[in-house]
Amino acid sequence: MAGDDDFISAGRVGRPHGLDGSCHVTRPTPRLLALGASVVVGGRRVEIVRRAGTDASPIVRFDGVEDRAAAEQLRGLDILVARAGLPPLDRDEFWAHELEGCTVFVQAPGAGQGRTLGIVRRVIELPSCEALEVEPADGGAALLVPMVKDAIHGVDVAARSIEVDAAFLDLAQAEPGEPA
């Protein structure tokens, strides 16, 4: 099998569901858990032969996993998808793994690339949108930058950089009740 860098996680096998070998998926990436998708679980390539539940709480069954005991044996294992087999995204969409490790720059109005804010550690799903968890360059607590057009000016995956609007950060960091 190819190296670990050639795969990304689509989730992790959770507790069994029912008696037919189906299981819940924790930390899912729903787009990668489609019926018929080829995935790797425990070093073995398998196909998803059942897909139920919701995007937030999917239930899948893999070919060759025929009962609850077999599903329990997989519990805790990562469900991996080959990067080469990822479905295409729209122009302004990105996979989380593409954004992790990118440098975040504060973009001031009318200026070029501004000061370094920090490095993206991970992408977090919030109820209203996804957010970048940024480890500040100057230390301190992690910052959350929502992935919305008002906050993000641009993403250049090849250059490993993300430009964030300085005015939006000022608004996001204002104390409650304080004028922005």
Give the CATH number of the domain where residue 67 resides.
2.40.30.60
Whether 110 and 78 map to the same domain: the answer is: no
Rounded CA separation 40/158 (Å): 27
Q: Band the pLDDT of 50: cuts 50, 70, 90.
A: very high
Q: Band the pLDDT of 158: cuts 50, 70, 90.
A: confident
pTM: 0.64
Whether 67 and 118 map to the same domain: the answer is: no
* pLDDT higher than 50, residue 178: no
Whether 165 and 139 map to the same domain: the answer is: yes
Whether 19 and 81 map to the same domain: the answer is: yes
| Domain extent at residue 156 | 96-173
Whether residue 90 lies inside any domain: the answer is: no
Structural domain count, the chain: 2
Whether 77 and 134 map to the same domain: the answer is: no
The set of residues, in sequence order, having a beta carbon less than 8 Å from that of 118 and lying 6+ positions away, is: 103, 104, 134, 135, 136, 137, 143
Which pLDDT value is given to residue 111? 53
Which pLDDT value is given to residue 166? 73
Whether residue 109 lies inside any domain: the answer is: yes
The region of weakest confidence among 6-10, 36-40, 46-50, 67-71 is 6-10
Among 34, 59, 85, the domain boundary falls at 85
Identify the bridge partners of residue 46 per DSSP, sorted by sequence position: 39
* pLDDT higher than 50, residue 180: no
Whether residue 33 lies inside any domain: the answer is: yes
Rounded CA separation 109/56 (Å): 38
Nearest 5°: the CA angle 50, 53, 55 is: 105
Of residues 71 and 98, the one with the higher pLDDT is: 71
Whether 66 and 15 map to the same domain: the answer is: yes
Which pLDDT value is given to residue 171? 46
